[in-house]
Amino acid sequence: MDLELPRLADTLVEGTVTRWFKKAGEPVREGEALVEIETDKVNSELSAPADGVLAEILVAEGETVPVGRLLARISTSGEQPVAPSPARVAGPSAAAPRSERLAEHLRQAAAAVPQGACVREVAATDLERMPQALRAAAGAGLEVASLPPARSHLPIPALGRGQAALVAPGAERDGRRLLTLCYDRRVLDDWAADQLLGRIAAELGG
């Protein structure tokens, strides 16, 4: 399974890998933070889309890459292991000139999942009510997944294959936490996603 740099905002063109939380060959769990990404908007963490093994890291710490770039590969139980590419993971590589990165972004943007994200602040209530809140807010016909609370204040995970929407709670701060709703723009437009997140926050008592 591939982990790509998603479009975290409409104007986002590229992001810089600042830290990997796992090494190649280590097991990962779905929803577990894998990598920290720095953009001109905000720092965020991308989470593992499935249980498995981090088979290959393709972008080193310190490297800036365009939206849609493949960051890593995760080997799941139903996939054949992927042999690491030593040349790609040996260490930080020099970032390509901005013009080259922008050109590559334009080539790859069409293939990237058109992911959007919106955020609401809620009270740090008991998240065990999250499944009921998601069902009540989404209604029939839309499945919204959720992740456990992240270590960062503002997590923005990548959608897994086939996921329409995903709620990621941030770390608690002063009795409050941020809820991030990541969504596939082919399923939800920005207005509908924001309304959905508002209903989820209301169901949680935010």
**Per-residue pLDDT at 84:** 47
Q: Distance (Å, rounded) from C-alpha 111 to C-alpha 35?
A: 21
**Per-residue pLDDT at 10:** 61
CATH node for 2-111: 2.40.50.100
Tokens representing residue 107 in the block: 């080539």
Residue showing tokens 């796992």: 22
**Per-residue pLDDT at 21:** 92
**Per-residue pLDDT at 9:** 64
Residue showing tokens 């093994």: 53
**Per-residue pLDDT at 4:** 86
Residue type, 195: Q
Which residues does the chain have with pLDDT short of 70? Answer: 8-12, 41-42, 78-113, 126, 206
Q: Distance (Å, rounded) from C-alpha 106 to C-alpha 55?
A: 27
- List CB contacts of 79: < 8 A, sequence separation 6 or more: 1, 52
75 touches 146 (CB < 8 A): no
30 touches 98 (CB < 8 A): no
Helical (H) or strand (E) element with 103: helix 98-108
Q: Which residue, among 128, 92, 143, has the nearest Cα to 205 in the 3D structure?
A: 128
Give the residue extent of every domain in the chain: 2-111, 115-203
130-150 burial string, b = 16+ CB within 10 Å, else e?
beebbeebbeeebebbbbeeb
Q: Distance (Å, rounded) from C-alpha 122 to C-alpha 54?
A: 33
**Per-residue pLDDT at 13:** 75
**pTM recorded for the entire structure:** 0.51
**Per-residue pLDDT at 191:** 92
CA 96 to chain centre: 24
CA 71 to chain centre: 12
Q: Which residue, among 74, 49, 65, 162, has the nearest Cα to 109 in the 3D structure?
A: 65
Question: Virtual CA dihedral for 157, 197, 117, 19, nearest 10 degrees?
Answer: -30
Tokens representing residue 190 in the block: 């920005």
